[in-house]
Amino acid sequence: AQSVTQLGSHVSVSEGALVLLRCNYSSSVPPYLFWYVQYPNQGLQLLLKYTSAATLVKGINGFEAEFKKSETSFHLTKPSAHMSDAAEYFCAVSDLGGYGKLTFGQGTILTVHP
């Protein structure tokens, strides 16, 4: 069975500061990993995905994530936070045996202070 743990349900940063949102996964087979963002009153929007190519994945809005197999992690980073980055972020995992099912973490709410 696969699972996802997002450390920290709330993260607060100042505008211009580094954003680091943590995600650890467990999977019995090589996983596929995704980060989604949800703005208020909207659905989930794909930020980036890891599908066993390059371990450093670049996404939209300046976000990137690095797949580290030894640490079973897929942390999301952005060098400089913008006010518009305030949202909830979800890490998700799927694998070949999951028939397309995504397992989501509980989400991390990012607050950006001026």
Partner 1 sequence: ETGVTQTPRHLVMGMTNKKSLKCEQHLGHNAMYWYKQSAKKPLELMFVYNFKEQTENNSVPSRFSPECPNSSHLFLHLHTLQPEDSALYLCASSQDTGLANQPQHFGDGTRLSIL
Nearest CA to 18 out of 66, 57, 58, 63 is that of: 63
Among 1, 28, 41, 70, binds partner 1 (CB under 8 A): 41
Pull the structure tokens for residue 107. Answer: 């989400």
Which residues ranging from 83 to 112 are in contact with partner 1 (CB under 8 A)? 90, 94-96, 98-102, 104-107
Q: At 34, which helix (H) or strand (E)? A: strand 31-38
Minimum CB–partner distance for residue 70 and partner 1 (Å): 21
Q: Which stretch binds partner 1 (CB under 8 A): 17-25, 43-51, 60-68, 70-78?
A: 43-51
